[in-house]
A and B are shown apart, each in its own frame.
Chain A
């Protein structure tokens, strides 16, 4: 099937400096694609280019297989999309008018507009703010209005540019849940820019890692994790160990996942056969020179030390126990254990220390493929 949105060899220049150079970009129907990269890596520029908000030096963008330059006037093209930016860029009028604006621009009828706005306000839990001026809202409320406005027009592609970055952790979690449920009900494809890999892993079907205006690597999260194209891409995953596997057996209160030829026990519940992407935080991994038999941790493996990297108050220890694993240990422990690269050690972590990032059931469960 032809991709929904495609770009080939697009380049953009700002103040004489190349800021974007993407050979290949594609987005499928209903796909959730994250653009991950540090500030200045070209994520926003790519989104603005796809929206035709900035001029391209060269290259082609195709929407449903047709060159978008043939779509005139340009605002007709943009009406296929909706965008939410980091700061909630709301108009100085009521919440209702903000959410209704996109529908009015698309000349939807009064009743349809009213119904869509109502639905969208409900979905983001802001019906009570309907008649308030949008400029007097909290950061979380404002971003909800911005999201409601984007969802109200039922776009073919939704662009999210760091939509959660300026929110505190609790509001972010609540909004993320609402976005997940809204996406579950809609048909829209999504392009989200973020510098937070956890966010990307939680939501994405595919991730494109960007740096210096280029897409360095794109693919499903686990593929990127396991085969990072270069160190830059790897660095985005380096701070956490991320693994993928299939559920083998369901126990009481936990389940066993086979990953990279090893079995990992994870606390929680899952359907047998589900695909699970999970991470291990480096703080929760114990290292010992002796086999760890008398600890309560359910997951115990023999491992080899690949690298030891000093990082201030602690050391990053890269282990290989059939799959790559990173552990943080303090300088004090380091002194006691006297670890060296290449040595064989034992490691362990509790089943509750495993964080499930994504789970796809065989029948329906996760749904968004």
Chain B
């Protein structure tokens, strides 16, 4: 038990002193997961809207695939992304393995289906009649989609939050495609795993705490926006 208390006390000390390495790891985590979330949002909202608003053969299969994708195990994603970006893999020439970009790619594969699935549900929940109403106002395709996105902004934002949460908190894929390289691909989750393995519990606790705080702040900001939109 004193190990826990000791760990927390020293973690607080580390954070209070503004440990540079922890700061860098945190910033990298934010950049990587933020970037992945941004790309996932573009892909997810577009794809979700496309599937929600259109009828085409194989649509049910597409919806099932997206829903399955929402629960992709990060290590499976890590494995497949690795297989593709091996030096000897199909995308090997790009030299992506063990780079932050590789983590972004893997996290996009994890987060994009989450954003897509929630966007799909959000867009499907817009009543068909409201869609008719918007079209009857004479809206072209771009304006039509923009208005639908605005109508569904609350659930869409929830989807983005969920996607960011999935990207920020996954560890399996990051460690496989990023390699947990110090100062380069070491993010909050992989660092936490490593420090735990090394017995540096205070550092691990500090990193875990930062992870929680970052997740909380981001969600708090997004929730505030959501509440303001609603009122």
Question: Which A residues are closer than 8 A to B by beta carbons?
Answer: 48, 51, 53, 73, 75-76, 78-79, 81-83, 85, 87, 89, 91-93, 101-102, 105-106, 149, 153, 159
With A73-B140, A75-B140, A85-B129 given, is the CB distance from A92 to B135 under 8 Å?
no
- Give B contacts to A, CB under 8 Å: 127, 129-130, 132-141, 143-144, 147, 150-151, 153
Which of the listed residues B127, B132, B143, B150 has the most CB atoms from chain A within 10 Å of its own CB?
B132
The answer to whether B150 and A92 have CB atoms under 8 Å apart is yes
- The answer to whether B137 and A48 have CB atoms under 8 Å apart is no
Given contacts A92-B151, A93-B150, contact A87 B129 (CB under 8 A): yes
Indicate whether A105 sits within 8 Å of B132 (C-beta atoms), given known contacts A91-B150, A91-B151: no
Instruction: Give the residues in chain B near A85, CB-CB below 8 Å.
Output: 129, 132-133
**Complex CA–CA separation, A93 to B150 (angstroms):** 9
A-B contact count (CB 8 A): 59
- Report the minimal beta-carbon distance from B137 to chain A, rounded to whole angstroms: 5
**Contact at B139–A75, with CB atoms within 8 Å?**
yes
B138→A91 contact, CB < 8 A: no
Interface centre among B127, B130, B133, B143 (most CB of A within 10 A): B133
9 new A-B contacts, CB < 8 A, other than A51-B136, A81-B136, A153-B138, are A75-B141, A83-B136, A85-B132, A85-B133, A87-B129, A91-B134, A101-B147, A102-B137, A105-B138
30 contacts between A and B (CB under 8 A): A51-B132, A51-B135, A51-B136, A53-B136, A73-B140, A75-B140, A78-B135, A78-B137, A78-B138, A81-B136, A82-B136, A83-B132, A83-B133, A83-B136, A85-B132, A89-B130, A91-B147, A91-B150, A92-B150, A92-B151, A92-B153, A93-B150, A101-B137, A101-B147, A102-B138, A105-B137, A105-B138, A105-B139, A149-B137, A153-B137
Point out the residues of chain B lying under 8 angstroms from A53, CB to CB: 132, 135-136
A79 to B140, CA, bound (A): 10
- In the complex, which residues of chain A have a beta carbon less than 8 angstroms from the beta carbon of B144? 75
Contacts of B130 in A (CB 8 A): 89
In the complex formed, the residue of B with least CB distance to A159 is B136
Tell me which residues across on chain A come within 8 A of B147, comparing CB atoms. Answer: 91, 101
Which A residue sits closest to B127, measured CB to CB?
Answer: A89
Contacts of B135 in A (CB 8 A): 51, 53, 75, 78
> How far is A101 from B132 in the complex, measured between Cα atoms in Å?
14
The distance in angstroms between the C-alpha atoms of A235 and B79, with both chains bound, is: 71
Chain A residues, CB < 8 A from B136:
51, 53, 78, 81-83, 159
Contact (A75, B150) CB under 8 Å given A85-B129, A85-B132, A89-B133:
no
Per the bound structure, the CA–CA distance linking A87 and B138 in Å amounts to: 19
Question: With the chains together, A75 CA to B136 CA distance in Å?
Answer: 8
B136–chain A nearest beta-carbon distance, Å = 4
CB contacts (< 8 Å) of A78 on chain B: these are 135-138
A105: chain B residues within 8 A (beta carbon)? 137-140, 143
Q: Chain A residues with Cβ under 8 A from B129's Cβ? A: 85, 87, 89
Bound state CA distance, A192 and B92, in angstroms? 64
**Cβ distance B89 to chain A, nearest Cβ, rounded Å:** 43
Contact B138–A79 (Cβ < 8 Å): yes
In the bound assembly, the distance between CA atoms of A158 and B205 in angstroms comes to: 66
Chain A, residue nearest B139 (CB): A105
Most chain A beta carbons < 10 A, residue from B134, B139, B150: B139
Residue of A nearest to B148 (CB): A91
Bound CA–CA A48/B133 (angstroms): 10
Q: How far is the CB of A153 from chain B (nearest CB, A)?
A: 8
| Min CB gap B135→A, angstroms | 6
A159 vs B136: C-alpha distance when bound (angstroms): 10
Residues of chain A lying within 8 A (CB to CB) of residue B150: 91-93
Which residues of B sit under 8 angstroms from A73, Cβ to Cβ? Answer: 140-141
Task: Select which of B132, B139, B151 is within 8 A of A48 by beta carbon.
Answer: B132
For the complex, what is the distance from the CA of A75 to the CA of B143, rounded to whole Å? Answer: 11
Complex alpha-carbon distance, A83 and B141, angstroms: 18
A159–B135 alpha-carbon span in the complex (Å): 13
User: Taking the nearest CB of chain B, how far is it from the CB of A77, in angstroms?
Assistant: 9
A92 / chain B contacts, CB cutoff of 8 Å: 150-151, 153
Report which residue of A48, A73, A75, A82 has the largest number of chain B beta carbons within 10 angstroms of its beta carbon.
A75
- Roughly how many angstroms separate A93 CA and B153 CA in the complex, as a whole number? 11
CB nearest to A104 among chain B residues: B143
Distance between B123 CB and nearest chain A CB, rounded to angstroms: 14
* Residues in B neighbouring A51, C-beta threshold 8 A: 132, 135-136
Query: What residues on B are CB-neighbors of A102 within 8 Å?
Result: 137-138
Nearest-CB distance from A104 to chain B (Å)?
A: 8
Cα A145 to Cα B135 in complex, Å, equals: 17
Contacts of B132 in A (CB 8 A): 48, 51, 53, 83, 85, 89
The residue that B138 contacts in the complex, of A75, A93, A159, with Cβ under 8 A, is: A75
Cα–Cα, bound, A73→B144 (Å): 13
For the complex, give the distance between the alpha carbons of A75 and B141 in Å. 8
In whole angstroms, how far apart are the Cα atoms of A153 and B135 in the complex?
14
Shortest Cβ gap from A87 to chain B (Å): 7
CA distance A314 to B229 in the complex (A): 57
Question: Distance (Å) between the CB of B108 and the closest chain A CB?
Answer: 30
Residues from chain A with a CB closer than 8 A to the CB of B127 are: 89
Could you say which of B134, B137, B143 contacts A82, with CB atoms under 8 Å apart? B137
- Please indicate which of the listed interface residues A48, A73, A81, A89 has the most CB atoms of chain B within 10 Å of its own CB: A89
Tell me the smallest distance from the CB of A241 to a CB of chain B, in Å.
Answer: 37
Question: What CA separation (Å) do A51 and B138 show in the bound complex?
Answer: 10
